[in-house]
Structure 1
Amino acid sequence: MNTKLKATQKHFKQWLLPILAIALLALTVAWLAGAFSHKIAPEVMPINPTVVIKTMPVKSSSVETFEAVPASITAKQATIISSRLLARIDEIHVRSGDKIKQGDVLITLESNDLASQVIEAQEQVNATKARNTEIKQNFQRAKELFTKEMISTFELDKSKADYQSSIAQLTAAQQNLQQAKTTLSYTTLRAPINGKVVDRFAEPGNTAQPGNKLLSLYNPLSLRVEAQVREQLAVKLIVGQSIKVILPVVDKTLTGQIEEIVPAANTGSRTFLIKVSLPYQDTMLPGMYAKLLIPAGRVTKNLIPQNAVHHVGQLSFVRVVIDNQPQRRFVRIGEVNNKRVSIISGLSEGEVIVVPAT
């Protein structure tokens, strides 16, 4: 009898633990599901009678669409300053950001040797002039003596040849002087345009190499926007056409004019280079990012007032009137123009929405 009782107790213990575990798991799931919490039945919130609202039907409209094309601000007038001579830099008179005027001295190179060459060339001109004056007087006397038949034709021709040779020598000396002065002028680098210094690539004491850049300049009044526009849109553009330009960094939208369309497509991307002039803005700098709004045709869109759209985090919703009660409906919105928002999805034409009263 004791053996049977022990077997029964052992069998009961084997089943008790799994049953308790299952019961505990069931209670936990029920608690997480809110079985022991007070439930509120879903209902439509009534319109607050103290809030003034108005409704309006959703209407479709045909609107012009634009394609935003990435662009960059560039300077139409930009130049690199370099030296024509191999010479040491004595002084650089400007730094990055300095404003300059056309003709201002930017860089001065060592010029002692060239100045000596100018003096030497000038003395050569003076000597040649004196020699030419003497030979000219001899030629005049020779003509007088020939008239009196006191010298031969040979002597007259020789005097004339000496005079013409002296004229040629004087001309050559004057040309050498002009060349020496021109070479000396290369030691003073001046600003070719009105503008601003972008960067300097050398310092006093460095040796200026012919053709190596020393300064870069640009004219702030010549800033424009350049963009690569796909051929389907570019072929519809014309020079002089007005184009909207967005400057995201300064949060501005400007109206520019197409001043140039490069008449050849990029074979790799099948795009055309479009250049748009802009009114002067002191906040614009070369290299800044911009966007061109290129006309891309007309489409039909559902437009609603901007104040009818509400936001919860990253989600947007409107209140749609169904059975005389406003219900929240999430929507996808597009661009905003003139305080009207285009609805990409979530609303259909004819549906009635709630618009806050003005």
Structure 2
Amino acid sequence: MSTPQIQQEKAVKKIIIPVLALIILLIMVAWLAGYFNNKVPPGFEKTSTELVNFDSYKVKSSTEAIFEGIAASITAKQATIISSRLLARIEQINVRSGDNVKKGDVLIILEHNDLSSRVIEAREQVNAMIARYTEAQKNFERAKELFNKKIASQFDLDKSKADYQSIKAELTAAKQSLAQAQTTLSYATLRAPINGKVVDRFAEPGNTAQAGEKLLSLYNPLSLRVEAQVREQLALTLTQGQSVTVELPTIKQKLVGLVEEIVPAANTGSRSFLIKVSLSYQENLLPGMYARLLIPAGDAQKLYIPKNSVFHIGQLDFVHVLIDGQSQKRFVRIGANVKPGFISIISGLVDGDIVVTTD
């Protein structure tokens, strides 16, 4: 074979090999893309089944009031802190946390021996001044009689009058000192200012009570109410005296309260108003408990279907919808069970849909 023929064959091979590789690559791409498989025309797969005997329910929408839940707390309208006005040792504490007290009951007794001594001293001082006052009054009356009979001079009358008025002033001051000593002594006995229940006890007998330091805390169980920060758009729709539903998740109850007070100033940070709602007495309510105010927030269209029309696949909820006499499975989002035997639908159904129910 001549050299030109060999060179020609080599040139042909250089061209054929890349072309074959390209053709093989295109065939593999077409195969992976399913070009050689049977084509299915576009459309929906018929997964519905024809039903013969069944019960159905037609979905209807209804207009209902919606409520917005606002986090709130139980507080006491009447609450007080018991503290001492004196620096003294605590001799006795008669109550503990949870005890019920009546107005005027003795709660704490402080050491008061020195205060009792001051009262006794002030009382004796008053008695002495009363005796001097009686004597000065008689002398003044006698001086007036002698002056009228021209026996005593004007000087004697003026002097007896001055002595009488001076002693009278000293008697008044002594009585004031006695009253002050008695008032100070009363500070040693701390009494309940209201009818209520003891919340906490911050001291024990033998401790030294500092002036202004809290010793006990009380609240009136009959004055419990709910306080909440309500956003301004809702707060401005409320009026004083309006009835509001209060939800108490802890005790699983709902109560009806009255809007007692709307603080007429918004919180600049949260743009909300402080709302106070009064409650009727409940034995199992305590200050600090969590509550929710259910405040009307307009109307909304809601859908309800029977609970027995919903079935579950894993964690998803489905219903069978009748379309042209055939059942079609449809995914739905469900809400709360607010009606006996029915469940609310958030999405997946519209007004007029017919769902299949089961026994």
Give the alignment of 1:11-22 within 5 angstroms. Answer: none
- Name whichever of 279-288 and 265-274 sits farther off: 279-288
Post-superposition shift, 1:337?
2.9
Q: Distance in 1 between matches of 2:339 and 2:192?
A: 46
User: Is there any run of 5+ residues in structure 1 with no aligned partner, and where?
Assistant: 1-41
Which of the residues 341, 344, 351 maps onto 2:343? 341
SS where residue 158 of structure 2 aligns? helix
Asked if 1:182 corresponds to 2:183, the answer is yes
Cα distance between partner residues in 2 of 1:100 and 1:54: 64
Q: Which position in structure 1 is the counterpart of 2:18?
A: none
Residue matched to 2:218: 217
Name 1:6's counterpart in structure 2: none
Match of 2:356 in 1: 354
Structure 1 residue 328, shift from structure 2 partner: 4.6
**Counterpart residue number, 1:26:** none
Is the partner of 1:117 in helix, strand or coil? Answer: helix
Name the residue aligned to 2:73: 72
Pairs within 5 Å for 1:68-217: 68-217=69-218
Partner in structure 1 of residue 266 of structure 2: 265
User: How far does residue 190 in structure 1 lie from its aligned partner after superposition?
Assistant: 0.6
Using a 3 Å threshold, how does the CA distance of structure 1 residues 318 and 154 change in structure 2: closer, same or farther? Answer: farther
Supply the RMSD in Å over aligned alpha carbons: 2.1
Q: What is the TM-score when the length of structure 1 is the normalising length?
A: 0.82
Matched position secondary structure for 1:151: coil
Partners of 2:164 and 2:119 in 1: CA distance:
26
Provide the C-alpha distance between the structure 1 equivalents of 2:276 and 2:312, rounded to a whole number of angstroms: 39
Label 1:344 to 1:108 Cα distance change in 2 as closer, same or farther (>3 A).
Answer: same
1:326–1:187 distance in 2 versus 1, CA, 3 Å? farther
Q: Give the fraction of aligned pairs with identical amino acids, expressed as a percent.
A: 67
Instruction: Provide, for residues 324-343 of structure 1, a one-character-per-residue CA deviation record: whole Å limited to 9, x for no partner.
Output: 35555332123443435331
For 2:155, what is the secondary structure of its paired residue? helix
- Quick check: which has more Rg, 1 or 2? 2
Question: How many aligned residue pairs are there?
Answer: 313
AA at the equivalent of 1:102: K
Q: What letter is aligned with 2:349?
A: L
Deviation, 1:43, is 7.5
Shift of 1:282: 1.3
Tell me the alpha carbon deviations over residues 292-340 of structure 1, each in whole angstroms, 9 at most, x when there is no partner.
1111111222233455445566544434334435555332123443435
Q: Name the CA shift for 1:298/1:91 in 2 (closer, same or farther; >3 Å).
A: same
C-alpha separation in 2, matches of 1:303 and 1:177: 79
| Cα pair 2:309 2:356 within 8 Å, conserved | yes
Counterpart CA distance in 2 for 1:79 and 1:100 is 13
CA distance in 1, matches of 2:119, 2:103: 26
The TM-score normalised by the length of structure 2 is: 0.82
Q: How does 1:200-349 map to 2 (within 5 A)?
A: 200-306=201-307, 308-310=309-311, 314-339=315-340, 340-349=342-351
Distance 2:147 2:141 in 1: 10
Structure 1 residue runs of 4+, over 6 Å off?
Answer: none
- Counterpart contact for 2:264–2:273, Cα < 8 Å: yes
